[in-house]
Structure 1
Protein backbone atom coordinates (compact mmCIF):
# COMPACT_ATOMS: atom_id res chain seq x y z
CA UNK A 1 0.00 0.00 0.00
CA UNK A 2 1.45 3.36 -0.98
CA UNK A 3 1.67 6.32 1.36
CA UNK A 4 -1.11 8.14 -0.50
CA UNK A 5 -3.36 5.06 -0.33
CA UNK A 6 -2.72 4.82 3.40
CA UNK A 7 -3.49 8.51 3.94
CA UNK A 8 -6.64 8.20 1.88
CA UNK A 9 -7.73 5.15 3.88
CA UNK A 10 -7.47 6.95 7.21
CA UNK A 11 -8.66 10.30 5.89
CA UNK A 12 -5.43 12.22 6.43
CA UNK A 13 -4.85 13.49 2.90
CA UNK A 14 -6.92 16.35 1.56
CA UNK A 15 -9.14 15.90 -1.46
CA UNK A 16 -6.89 16.53 -4.44
CA UNK A 17 -9.06 16.54 -7.58
CA UNK A 18 -7.13 15.53 -10.66
CA UNK A 19 -3.99 14.63 -8.70
CA UNK A 20 -1.40 13.17 -11.07
CA UNK A 21 -0.07 10.80 -8.38
CA UNK A 22 -3.26 8.73 -8.15
CA UNK A 23 -2.56 5.16 -9.24
CA UNK A 24 1.16 5.77 -9.72
CA UNK A 25 2.59 4.88 -6.31
CA UNK A 26 5.65 3.17 -7.78
CA UNK A 27 6.86 6.52 -9.12
CA UNK A 28 6.14 8.52 -5.97
CA UNK A 29 7.27 6.07 -3.29
CA UNK A 30 10.96 5.82 -2.44
CA UNK A 31 12.78 3.12 -4.35
CA UNK A 32 13.20 -0.17 -2.56
CA UNK A 33 16.63 -1.30 -1.42
CA UNK A 34 18.39 -3.04 -4.29
CA UNK A 35 16.65 -1.01 -7.02
CA UNK A 36 18.97 0.05 -9.82
CA UNK A 37 20.01 3.64 -8.97
CA UNK A 38 19.32 4.81 -12.54
CA UNK A 39 15.80 3.36 -12.41
CA UNK A 40 15.21 5.01 -9.03
CA UNK A 41 16.44 8.37 -10.34
CA UNK A 42 14.27 8.08 -13.46
CA UNK A 43 11.15 7.32 -11.36
CA UNK A 44 11.88 10.23 -9.01
CA UNK A 45 12.34 12.68 -11.89
CA UNK A 46 9.18 11.41 -13.60
CA UNK A 47 7.21 11.89 -10.36
CA UNK A 48 8.54 15.43 -9.96
CA UNK A 49 7.57 16.25 -13.56
CA UNK A 50 4.03 14.96 -12.95
CA UNK A 51 3.80 17.05 -9.77
CA UNK A 52 4.89 20.15 -11.69
CA UNK A 53 1.91 19.67 -14.06
CA UNK A 54 -0.60 18.71 -11.36
CA UNK A 55 -3.71 20.87 -10.94
CA UNK A 56 -3.63 20.10 -7.18
CA UNK A 57 0.03 20.98 -6.61
CA UNK A 58 -0.54 24.10 -4.53
CA UNK A 59 -3.12 22.45 -2.28
CA UNK A 60 -0.91 19.36 -1.90
CA UNK A 61 2.14 21.50 -1.06
CA UNK A 62 0.17 23.48 1.55
CA UNK A 63 -0.99 20.22 3.16
CA UNK A 64 2.52 18.73 3.10
CA UNK A 65 4.18 21.81 4.58
CA UNK A 66 1.53 22.03 7.32
CA UNK A 67 2.45 18.54 8.56
CA UNK A 68 5.07 18.25 11.29
CA UNK A 69 8.33 17.06 9.72
CA UNK A 70 8.07 13.77 11.61
CA UNK A 71 4.67 13.06 9.99
CA UNK A 72 5.54 13.86 6.38
CA UNK A 73 5.39 10.86 4.07
CA UNK A 74 8.59 9.66 2.39
CA UNK A 75 8.95 9.81 -1.37
CA UNK A 76 7.93 12.49 -3.83
CA UNK A 77 5.09 14.58 -2.42
CA UNK A 78 4.04 17.97 -3.75
CA UNK A 79 7.06 18.00 -6.06
CA UNK A 80 9.45 17.61 -3.14
CA UNK A 81 11.52 14.57 -2.20
CA UNK A 82 11.43 13.47 1.42
CA UNK A 83 13.92 10.80 2.45
CA UNK A 84 14.46 9.36 5.91
CA UNK A 85 17.41 10.84 7.74
CA UNK A 86 20.58 8.80 7.92
CA UNK A 87 21.20 7.05 11.21
CA UNK A 88 24.50 7.09 12.98
CA UNK A 89 27.36 9.49 13.02
CA UNK A 90 28.57 11.25 9.91
CA UNK A 91 31.73 9.75 8.49
CA UNK A 92 34.92 11.70 8.77
CA UNK A 93 36.80 12.39 5.60
CA UNK A 94 40.55 12.83 5.62
Structure 2
Protein backbone atom coordinates (compact mmCIF):
# COMPACT_ATOMS: atom_id res chain seq x y z
CA UNK A 1 0.00 0.00 0.00
CA UNK A 2 2.79 2.47 0.76
CA UNK A 3 3.93 2.11 -2.86
CA UNK A 4 0.52 3.36 -4.02
CA UNK A 5 0.64 6.24 -1.56
CA UNK A 6 4.13 7.20 -2.69
CA UNK A 7 3.22 6.96 -6.37
CA UNK A 8 0.12 9.09 -5.76
CA UNK A 9 2.19 11.65 -3.89
CA UNK A 10 4.78 11.63 -6.67
CA UNK A 11 2.05 12.27 -9.28
CA UNK A 12 0.65 15.11 -7.18
CA UNK A 13 4.05 16.73 -6.77
CA UNK A 14 4.77 16.41 -10.50
CA UNK A 15 1.38 17.92 -11.36
CA UNK A 16 1.74 20.77 -8.88
CA UNK A 17 5.19 21.69 -10.10
CA UNK A 18 4.41 21.16 -13.80
CA UNK A 19 2.33 24.30 -14.10
CA UNK A 20 4.10 27.60 -13.85
CA UNK A 21 2.23 30.28 -11.93
CA UNK A 22 -0.25 32.11 -14.14
CA UNK A 23 0.58 35.82 -14.11
CA UNK A 24 -2.23 37.94 -12.71
CA UNK A 25 -4.24 34.98 -11.41
CA UNK A 26 -6.79 36.00 -8.76
CA UNK A 27 -6.30 32.66 -6.97
CA UNK A 28 -2.67 33.32 -6.03
CA UNK A 29 -2.31 32.58 -2.32
CA UNK A 30 -5.84 31.16 -2.04
CA UNK A 31 -5.24 27.49 -2.90
CA UNK A 32 -7.35 26.26 0.04
CA UNK A 33 -10.51 27.43 -1.74
CA UNK A 34 -9.80 25.32 -4.81
CA UNK A 35 -9.17 21.87 -3.27
CA UNK A 36 -11.53 19.09 -4.32
CA UNK A 37 -12.39 17.91 -0.82
CA UNK A 38 -10.84 18.61 2.54
CA UNK A 39 -10.80 15.98 5.27
CA UNK A 40 -13.75 16.33 7.65
CA UNK A 41 -15.49 18.88 5.46
CA UNK A 42 -19.28 18.80 5.06
CA UNK A 43 -20.91 19.03 1.64
CA UNK A 44 -22.20 22.48 2.57
CA UNK A 45 -18.71 23.68 3.54
CA UNK A 46 -17.29 22.35 0.27
CA UNK A 47 -20.02 24.06 -1.77
CA UNK A 48 -19.43 27.36 0.06
CA UNK A 49 -15.67 27.11 -0.49
CA UNK A 50 -16.04 26.19 -4.17
CA UNK A 51 -18.54 29.03 -4.64
CA UNK A 52 -15.93 31.49 -3.36
CA UNK A 53 -13.33 29.94 -5.68
CA UNK A 54 -15.65 30.15 -8.69
CA UNK A 55 -16.38 33.82 -7.87
CA UNK A 56 -12.64 34.52 -7.99
CA UNK A 57 -12.38 32.75 -11.34
CA UNK A 58 -15.32 34.75 -12.73
CA UNK A 59 -13.45 38.00 -12.03
CA UNK A 60 -10.00 36.74 -13.00
CA UNK A 61 -8.16 38.39 -15.87
CA UNK A 62 -5.97 35.29 -16.31
CA UNK A 63 -8.79 32.78 -16.93
CA UNK A 64 -7.76 32.08 -20.55
CA UNK A 65 -4.14 31.37 -19.58
CA UNK A 66 -5.38 29.25 -16.67
CA UNK A 67 -7.58 27.12 -18.96
CA UNK A 68 -4.64 26.54 -21.28
CA UNK A 69 -2.44 25.53 -18.33
CA UNK A 70 -4.96 23.18 -16.69
CA UNK A 71 -5.55 21.39 -19.99
CA UNK A 72 -1.99 20.07 -19.59
CA UNK A 73 -2.84 18.24 -16.34
CA UNK A 74 -3.78 14.55 -16.55
CA UNK A 75 -6.57 14.49 -13.93
CA UNK A 76 -7.23 17.84 -12.30
CA UNK A 77 -9.58 17.80 -9.31
CA UNK A 78 -11.18 20.68 -7.47
CA UNK A 79 -11.83 24.09 -8.96
CA UNK A 80 -9.68 24.86 -11.99
CA UNK A 81 -10.19 27.66 -14.53
CA UNK A 82 -13.73 28.40 -13.37
CA UNK A 83 -14.93 24.78 -13.34
CA UNK A 84 -15.27 22.08 -10.71
CA UNK A 85 -13.31 19.14 -12.14
CA UNK A 86 -12.54 15.56 -11.31
CA UNK A 87 -14.12 12.73 -9.38
CA UNK A 88 -16.12 13.33 -6.27
CA UNK A 89 -14.54 11.61 -3.31
CA UNK A 90 -16.77 11.76 -0.29
CA UNK A 91 -15.59 11.04 3.21
CA UNK A 92 -18.46 10.76 5.68
CA UNK A 93 -18.51 13.66 8.08
CA UNK A 94 -18.55 12.43 11.68
Shorter-chain TM-score bucket reads: 0.5 to 0.7
**Is 1:77 paired with 2:83?**
no
Q: Structure 1: which 4+ aligned runs deviate by more than 4 Å?
A: none
How many residues are matched?
A: 76
**Is 1:36 paired with 2:39?**
no
CA distance in 1, matches of 2:47, 2:75: 21
* Residue in 2 that maps onto 1:21: 27
Preserved CA contact (<8 Å) 1:64 1:72? no
Q: 3-state DSSP class of the match of 1:81?
A: strand
Aligned CA-pair RMSD: 2.2
Structure 1: where are the runs of 5+ without partners?
A: 87-94
